[in-house]
Amino acid sequence: MEKQEQERFRDSIGTVTSEGKRSWVYPKKPDGILYKYRKWVSYFLLIFLFVSPFIKLNGNQFLMFNVLERRFNIFGDIFWPQDFYLFVLMMLIGVVFVVLFTVAFGRIFCGWICPQTIFMEMVFRRIEYWIEGDRGKQIRLDKQNWNAEKIRKKASKWFIFFIISFLIANVFLAYLIGSDRLLLYIQEGPLAHISTLISLLIFTGVFYFVFAWFREQVCVIACPYGRLQGVLLDTKSIVVAYDHKRGEKEKGRAKFKKNEDREASGKGDCIDCLQCVQVCPTGIDIRNGTQLECVNCTACIDACNNIMDAVDLPRGLIRYASEENIEKRKKFKFTPRIKGYAAVLFILVSVLTGMLFLRSDVEANILRLPGQLYEHKENNIISNVYTYKLINKTSKDYENVQFKLMSHKGSIRTVKGSSILVPANGLAEGTLFIEINKAALETEKDKLKIAVYDGENLIETTGTTFLGPRSYN
Ligand code: SF4
Ligand code: SF4
């Protein structure tokens, strides 16, 4: 029965009342060394996020994800739809990386790196503390009737939230359509690009809704990664955990009394001050054990450490620890599962590195024109017609591109003339003829190797097939 009582917290989520209504969370402002570190990490990530689309490397936007035109820039390198396999591989590496980290270190990603947490806790929440004050003041403000003070505070907060949401939407647009185009649109004025403005306002509305109202619900009920915790975590995963052995001891947690001998009394080190609960942005009590709602933000570690300092007990009652570490005092070990994920990650990264090195600056595709047979010409010459596509993945023009046969003696003639211009970050397409003497053919379908030169420089090699007559005698 007592056990059932203890497990009751699992029947509901802390942010919803028994009537199914939203229970608003007013987390106390965190304070401590981990919060300080998290602030520095968030400054770095926010600067990275806001600046990346405006940095150019080799003339290309540093990061761009133009899904509409299927062009992606990663660290200044342009990836075309033809490079999609690399993109998929990168995504796979990202997933395995996050899974590996989750198995070993729980939801460390959520607390330290996730954009939702960074924006919520390090931007919007801090503005809220600045305008409305800490937890107690926020609760009082929400309870009080609308007066000049409440209108001023709420209106200024909502206005700043809207401006920041609008800024975030603009940055996302810079990732999507490119910062040059975004700046051009701004110069030309919003009325010249009404559809873009409408999309921008829709995204602003979504961000505003998430950060002003939906908040921790994203992590608690919407985020699929959060739902995965049940299968990824095990008793060896390091998570933010309450040391219940130390906190409860034989007689359980109890309020702190001055000058008492806590050790001799058998009471646990938890003085039931509820600071860890009040500081939690997802409204849970970490003393109930690992819960799906916990985003590992470490605010409760800082809060509890401050209390431990105040009552002169050792820090670390709430800390980064695994269940085994708490139950059996076992140190962190690399489990076979972690080693397995690490091996998969290593293989994927090696494959990706190899592929990136093999990736050429220019990609050439030569395909036989569908439905066309070969043609007999004078002097025993067989001719096949092809379409070619040259993709320039660099930011410089290739002005004098030519094809040369490598595998056979023969000639290549492009319809557009002897040399082709392939513009920077662009492509050139056209038709070409390959002519080979019948005597040089070995089968009715020879494989050809073709070199692509820019002037004297070999920039790519490619292949295609060449049809010829069945008999060669
Ligand atoms: S902050 Fe520490 S001492 Fe206070 S209730 Fe939480 S675990 Fe117990
Ligand atoms: S339980 Fe602690 S670490 Fe988890 S979300 Fe709440 S405050 Fe953050």
Distance 160 CA to ligand 1 centre (A): 34
Residue 265 has pLDDT above 90, yes or no: no
Q: Are 355 and 89 in contact (CB under 8 A)?
A: yes
Ligand 2 site, residue 295, Cβ cutoff 6 A: yes
Measured from the alpha carbon of residue 316, the closest ligand is 1
Atom 7 (ligand 1) nearest CA: 270
Distances from the Cα of 247 to the Cαs of 263, 274, 328, in angstroms? Answer: 12, 13, 15
Ligand 1 site, residue 286, Cβ cutoff 6 A: no
Ligand 1 site, residue 276, Cβ cutoff 6 A: yes
Ligand 2 site, residue 299, Cβ cutoff 6 A: yes
Distance 313 CA to ligand 2 centre (A): 21
pLDDT tens for each residue of 406-460:
999 999 999 877 789 999 888 899 999 999 999 999 999 999 999 999 999 999 9
Between 114 and 227, name the one with better pLDDT: 114
Nearest to 174 by CA among 165, 162, 185, 163: 185
Ligand 2 site, residue 279, Cβ cutoff 6 A: yes
Ligand 2 site, residue 114, Cβ cutoff 6 A: no
Q: Are 7 and 1 in contact (CB under 8 A)?
A: no
Atom 6 (ligand 1) nearest CA: 276
Residues 358-367, mean pLDDT to the nearest whole number: 88
- Residue 472: pLDDT band (50, 70, 90) is very low
Q: At which residue do the structure tokens 């990530």 appear?
A: 45
Residues 57-77, mean pLDDT to the nearest whole number: 86
Write down the pTM of the prediction. Answer: 0.83
Atom 4 (ligand 1) nearest CA: 273
CA distance 64 to 74: 7
Ligand 1 site, residue 285, Cβ cutoff 6 A: no
pLDDT tens for each residue of 94-152:
888 888 888 888 888 899 999 999 999 999 999 999 999 999 999 999 999 999 999 99
Domain boundaries of the chain, sorted by first residue = 1-359, 362-467
Distance 315 CA to ligand 2 centre (A): 17
Q: At which residue do the structure tokens 């060669």 appear?
A: 472
Using only the alpha carbons of the chain, give its radius of gyration: 32
Contacts of 141 (CB under 8 A, 6+ apart): 132, 133, 149, 150, 153, 154
Distances from the Cα of 229 to the Cαs of 103, 115, 152, 322, in angstroms? Answer: 9, 18, 42, 14
Residues 468-473: contacts with CB under 8 Å, at least 24 apart: 468/374, 468/382, 468/436, 468/438, 468/441, 468/443, 468/444, 469/374, 469/376, 469/382, 469/438, 469/444, 470/444, 472/438, 472/439, 472/441, 472/442
Distance 285 CA to ligand 1 centre (A): 10
Helix ranges, 239-379 (H): 244-248, 262-265, 275-278, 299-310, 323-328, 336-358
pLDDT tens for each residue of 328-355:
887 877 888 888 888 999 999 999 999 8
Distances from the Cα of 280 to the Cαs of 54, 240, 314, in angstroms? Answer: 36, 12, 21
Give the class (CATH, top level) of 362-467: mainly beta
Atom 2 (ligand 2) nearest CA: 300
Measured from the alpha carbon of residue 301, the closest ligand is 2
pLDDT tens for each residue of 270-307:
999 999 999 999 999 999 998 889 999 999 999 999 99
Ligand 2 site, residue 238, Cβ cutoff 6 A: no
Q: Helix, strand or coil for residue 320? A: strand
Between 105 and 37, name the one with better pLDDT: 37
Which ligand 1 atom sits closest to the C-alpha of 269?
Answer: 3
Nearest to 84 by CA among 60, 63, 65, 62: 65
